[in-house]
Structure 1
Amino acid sequence: MAAIFGILTFEILLFFDEVLLAISGTSNDGVMIIFLKRIFLAILIGLRYYPLLLALRLQQTVAQLMAFIYVIGIIAHTIYRESFCLDFLPHSADISTQEEVQLRLQIGTWFIVYGLVAHLPHFILLSYSAAEFGMRFVFTCRGIYPKDYEINDKFFRKEIIFSVFVTTATYIGQLLLGMKSFREHILAFHKEKEEIVNKIEEIVKENETISRATQYPGYLIRYTVGGFVITFHLVIFVAVLPRLFWFHSSSFKWILQLILPILILHALQKLMAKSSTRLIDVAHDKRSDYKKLFVNIVQYFVLVANCFIGIMSSVIRVIMGSVANIIFINRVDLCLFRDPLERMDRAYVAYLHFVHEEYYTKYKHSDIQVEPTNEEELANEQSSEPFQSEPDQTEQPSNEEPAPHVQEAFEVSSTLSDEISASILPIFIERSALSASGNSRDVNERQLLLLQRWNEIKNEREEKKLTSVTAESQLGRIECKRIPIHGDGNCFFRAISAQLNIRHNHPNIRSEAVRYLNSRRDHFADFIVGIIAPTVDIYIKEMTHDGVYADHPIIFATATVLGQNIVIHEIGKRPLLIPGSDNINNQLHVWYNGIHYDSIVTSEGHVPNIPRENLLTS
């Protein structure tokens, strides 16, 4: 009924348009005659669609068929009238042939396009009415001779058996996929996969691990049983629906009356969008103002169509989301929400606590059989080959006395004067057999020298920085890659912990470094007081707090405590070695981008080892 009134409104608006255009014209009839003619035309247009309104009230097959034929006739008449411009005939006497030709040349094909778009709502409503009466005719024919089917206990036996098989297969598959997901999460901890491990660590609370983990089996059983029952009834409803629709189609008439118009409008909206795109492409070389007008008109009609189907589209989305949640309800390893709403899913949080607890209590200290990938198999084959070190690869200990401070500064300066690109040469990452006494200088002495010239070295490295390289290409040339580290102020200690394969021990590394710093406060005082903090005590107190960023004094202390040389990589710069061991082989590598530290490993996942000549050392 709404569509018919829409058609009627459109016809009356076109009539008023003709009336307004004819106001300025002359007529041989009197004013009353013209007025009565226009009233008669308005009434005639209204009576034109009265048979359709009457057919809506009648449920007879003949009435629906006649209404369908009547609407098809109106559509054919409208297309014929618009194609031959019959609406223009009453006004042709007021326009000369020359003016008409000029008007056609000025407007061109846009006249046809505008006419199509202007009458598009009329055609849409007529098409909808034709489809409505056609479906009414089909269903009234279907219900002429209704059959009486007896519904008993055996009527839906096939549907019940089908639903049992489908639901059982679905939930067995979901349980198997859940077991596979649990194994993947355990292997992620074992392989130290940053992305997965960091995500779990963000949600897991250490003081609630046991209480939350014990809730996981209850959630799994609860959602499996409840989800099985709900899914079974959902499947049996879908299976029974076609038979009910076939035997009692008249009972579903109101559903079809609601769904079919929406589907027709949706199809017309899609067709209109595609047609408008093609017309815009065809008119690409035409005048831009006509093209812009046409695009605006099309966008308007698409918006109107979307308003009609918007509610139904929202309902369909809600239904699809609900069905998906019912099917995957027992997959507690999948969160129902996206970040940052993951903590609202209690079952998912309990599952993450269970994975965390299971790994650290059962799997961490046991051998987990991991199927190696192709890259890992290739790396194992290469590592199994005997390696014979060259005699010249081992540094001989020096018996010379340490050079004075001026000579040390000259050595650092000469190292900085090298081309940075030479320090990023391809290196085969192998741990050569260097002696533990590879350098005769004391670690503390070398640290002191580097601390004294820290700002100078930092400025000179910045001046010689290369800007034509990327982090990936720079690390790729030494066959290394970055491992992302969670940024929470502890990124340096997390990166060092990842290098040592003790990822969750970064608070202890921080505390040990602070303790060493406190014991050697006189050694570090000249490089902290008035530069980083007012006093050493304030600096040490601040560094004890979790989430405080690490700077160079605490990095030096960390290197000494761990007995490892910490190599800091920055983009376009020679890797800087923070001394912590006399053995050049003892290296830990981190990437620094100015505000954040990441871990660096080889392409095989091992800790890199870079020769001394490619490092900036003291």
Structure 2
Amino acid sequence: MYYNNILTRSFSKIYRYHRYFTFSIQILCTYTVILIVIYNLTCLLTFYGIYSIKNQLDRIHYIILHQFNWDIQWGTTFINDLFFCSIISIIIYCTQIFNGLNKIQQHLISAYAGKYIDIPPRHNFSNNELISKCLHFSGYLCGYTAWGFIIFYKILFLICFLFRLWIRYDSKWFQHILALCLPIILIYLLKHILMSLLSEFVFLQNFGRTPSLNNRRIFFIFNYFNFFFDCFLGILSCVIRILKSVLASLLFMGRLDYSFMGRNLERLDQGYATYVTFIHMEIIHGHPILDDSLKLTEDMTVLINSYRKIIQR
């Protein structure tokens, strides 16, 4: 019973069973194709990649040896990098696939009840847009997932490969960069920790239980000096923001329910607009109350026709 609860709770994070909900055939077929594509891409990039990367490394070794007279031995450790990248990519993208199914279920159930919390309501799109954009759902979802998997796999392998060569052949440069970056990162982290502690124990009343300021004068004096500090440290925050956006784009490339452009510009994201219009079309043509009403009407029509035939006889 204990292991059953652990497995059920962990599985419910990526998919939750609902008694009165079933996915449409289009959704099930689309995600089945995506899983097959991910499996084929993993086998292709891993096993064919060993042969192709070995040939490319031999060409690069020949060019570097004749142009710069550097004898760099690649070795065979890149095979371990390939298997490592395959495992990480499969775990991340399979998790994203099942999380996407879970989000579709949540959005459809909420929309059946008339709650549009995470997606724009239907009146934001014209009838022409609903039809034309929802047609791209299956193709976009499969294409975004496949190309996101390939790009993430290639970038991860390149980072692992260059990082290993960097440490092996030029560890001094690595130490210099660490000596340059680590103090800035530590100052950045310590500043955020200090801000959090001051906010809880100095600025706010009742140790952060209420949003009321304890002393406005101290707060604005600290805000004045923090302005100059953030102007110089803002370049690190800018780099971190760019890295976060790039990493999020790679990890969530196969998730059409996430828009990378924010709430005001989300209609410019073709993938997200396709997902929203598909959800609305599923609600219009697959609402369970509508289906049950049509079934009852059809049964009543058959029953009335049968009675008429009996009366005519």
Task: Please give the alpha-carbon distance, in whole angstroms, between the structure 2 residues aligned to 1:193 and 1:170.
Answer: 32
Unaligned runs of 5+ in 1: 1-147, 282-290, 368-618
Give the superposition deviation at 1:322: 1.5
Unaligned runs of 5+ in 2: 1-70, 204-214, 293-313
Task: Please give the alpha-carbon distance, in whole angstroms, between the structure 2 residues aligned to 1:316 and 1:198.
Answer: 28
Task: Please give the alpha-carbon distance, in whole angstroms, between the structure 2 residues aligned to 1:189 and 1:161.
Answer: 42
Match of 1:170 among 92, 106, 111: 92
User: Are 1:159 and 2:81 counterparts?
Assistant: yes
Task: Please give the alpha-carbon distance, in whole angstroms, between the structure 1 residues aligned to 2:94 and 2:200.
Answer: 49
Task: Please give the alpha-carbon distance, in whole angstroms, between the structure 2 residues aligned to 1:168 and 1:274.
Answer: 37
What secondary structure does 1:194 align onto?
coil
What secondary structure does 1:333 align onto?
coil
Task: Please give the alpha-carbon distance, in whole angstroms, between the structure 1 residues aligned to 2:165 and 2:275.
Answer: 42
Describe the superposition over 1:189-219 as per-residue Cα deviations: whole angstroms up to 9, x where unpaired. 43x2333598331333212322211112221
More helix per residue: 2
Task: Please give the alpha-carbon distance, in whole angstroms, between the structure 1 residues aligned to 2:178 and 2:188.
Answer: 15
Compared CA separation, residues 298 and 244, structure 1 to 2 (3 A): farther
Paired residue type of 1:185: H
Give the superposition deviation at 1:162: 1.1
Describe the superposition over 1:149-172 as per-residue Cα deviations: whole angstroms up to 9, x where unpaired. 7213x2221121011111122112
Task: Please give the alpha-carbon distance, in whole angstroms, between the structure 2 residues aligned to 1:210 and 1:278.
Answer: 51
Paired residue type of 1:312: L
8 Å CA contact 1:245, 1:252 repeated in 2: yes
Paired residue type of 1:151: W
Give the superposition deviation at 1:177: 1.8
8 Å CA contact 1:188, 1:197 repeated in 2: no
1:35 alignment counterpart: none
2:45 alignment counterpart: none
User: Are 1:185 and 2:110 counterparts?
Assistant: no
2:122 alignment counterpart: 201
User: Are 1:309 and 2:230 counterparts?
Assistant: no
Describe the superposition over 1:33-52 as per-residue Cα deviations: whole angstroms up to 9, x where unpaired. xxxxxxxxxxxxxxxxxxxx
1:220 alignment counterpart: 141
Q: TM-score, normalization: structure 1? A: 0.30
1:422 alignment counterpart: none
Question: How many percent of aligned residue pairs carry the same amino acid?
Answer: 27
Task: Please give the alpha-carbon distance, in whole angstroms, between the structure 2 residues aligned to 1:293 and 1:182.
Answer: 49
Give the superposition deviation at 1:223: 0.8
Describe the superposition over 1:511-559 as per-residue Cα deviations: whole angstroms up to 9, x where unpaired. xxxxxxxxxxxxxxxxxxxxxxxxxxxxxxxxxxxxxxxxxxxxxxxxx
1:342 alignment counterpart: 266
What secondary structure does 1:329 align onto?
coil
8 Å CA contact 1:269, 1:305 repeated in 2: no
Compared CA separation, residues 272 and 160, structure 1 to 2 (3 A): same
Paired residue type of 1:204: F
Alignment of 1:427-466 (within 5 A): none
Task: Please give the alpha-carbon distance, in whole angstroms, between the structure 2 residues aligned to 1:353 and 1:225.
Answer: 22
Give the superposition deviation at 1:262: 1.4
Q: How many equivalent residue pairs?
A: 210
Give the superposition deviation at 1:274: 7.8
Alignment of 1:104-503 (within 5 A): 150-152=73-75, 154-190=76-112, 192-196=113-117, 199-240=120-161, 243-247=164-168, 248-253=170-175, 255-267=177-189, 269=191, 301-364=225-288, 365-366=290-291
8 Å CA contact 1:336, 1:345 repeated in 2: yes
Give the superposition deviation at 1:239: 3.6
- Bigger CA radius of gyration: 1
Paired residue type of 1:177: N
Task: Please give the alpha-carbon distance, in whole angstroms, between the structure 2 residues aligned to 1:162 and 1:171.
Answer: 14
Paired residue type of 1:213: C
Task: Please give the alpha-carbon distance, in whole angstroms, between the structure 2 residues aligned to 1:358 and 1:277.
Answer: 47
Task: Please give the alpha-carbon distance, in whole angstroms, between the structure 1 residues aligned to 2:281 and 2:85.
Answer: 38
What secondary structure does 2:254 align onto?
coil
